[in-house]
Every structure is written in C-alpha cells, then in structure tokens.
C-alpha cells in the first residue's frame, strides 16, 4: 500500500515537470525539492518559486509570497493603465463620460437627419417620375 501511494505521488509530481519539459523543451528548467509542508518547485530560468502541497493524491501549487507581491504589483500597474485608457477614451467621445447629449446636440442631429431624408425622398420621386415618362403606352389586352 505504501509503495502504491509513493508511486502515485511520483506520477502526480511528474505531471507538471513533464508539461514544462514538453512546452519549453528544456528538461533542466525546473527543480522539485521536498520541503516541510510539501514540495518546492524552482524555475531555473526565471527564478520563480512555487510551493506545492499534496492532499488526497492531488498536487496543488501556489506562488511564494515574494512572487505574489510581484504579481499584485503588476496587476495594480495594469489596472492603472486600463483606467487611464478608459478615461482617455471617455474624454475623446462627445458628451464626455457618459453624460446625455445637450438639447443643442440633439437638435443638430435631428436637423441633419431631416435634410438627409428630404434629399433621399426627392431622389426617389425624381426616379419614379423618370420611370413613368420612359414607359411606353400600354394597350389593354382584349382577348
């Protein structure tokens, strides 16, 4: 039973390493060492340390504290960048920051649409008139 559990643990532990090797094609990139609370995985390329624990045959890994701090700092930087881009976009749009357009802007838009519709319907009437003038006179069918 102990041998079976050890074999299962080794198989579970080899999965992240196998995936890393397959992705990076560098078998020496990761190092896995047993620690008090489980395992420590070291990425020899980046220096990232991941703490892993085994429970019920499942290996769960989480970032180390210093790595988490770097992750949080990067996340905060990206959030500030997104906020800056959103405010830049909002500033470039008419009726800034989601405000309703003014009455003058609405009247101007309606005026533009009215002129467009009048011009369109004038063209339609003009084409209909030309079509009626160009049709030959039809003789009723008396059969």
* Coil vs helix vs strand at 115: helix
**pTM, to two decimals:** 0.30
H or E element at residue 135: none
The answer for residues whose C-beta is within 8 angstroms of residue 27's C-beta and 6 or more apart is: 21
pLDDT tens per residue, range 68-79: 788 888 899 999
pLDDT tens per residue, range 1-44: 445 444 445 454 555 544 444 445 678 888 888 888 788 888 88
């Amino acid at each position: 039973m102990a041998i079976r559990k050890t074999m299962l643990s080794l198989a579970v532990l080899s999965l992240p390493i196998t995936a890393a090797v397959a992705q990076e094609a560098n078998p020496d990139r990761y190092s896995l060492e047993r620690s008090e609370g489980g395992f420590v995985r070291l990425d020899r390329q980046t220096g990232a340390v991941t703490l892993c624990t085994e429970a019920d045959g499942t290996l769960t890994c989480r970032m180390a504290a210093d790595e988490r701090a770097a992750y949080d700092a990067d996340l905060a930087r990206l959030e500030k960048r997104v906020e800056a881009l959103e405010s830049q976009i909002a500033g470039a749009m008419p009726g800034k920051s989601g405000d309703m357009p003014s009455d003058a802007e609405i009247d101007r838009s309606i005026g533009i649409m009215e002129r467009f519709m009048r011009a369109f319907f004038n063209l339609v009437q003009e084409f209909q008139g030309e079509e009626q003038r160009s049709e030959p006179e039809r003789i009723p069918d008396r059969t």
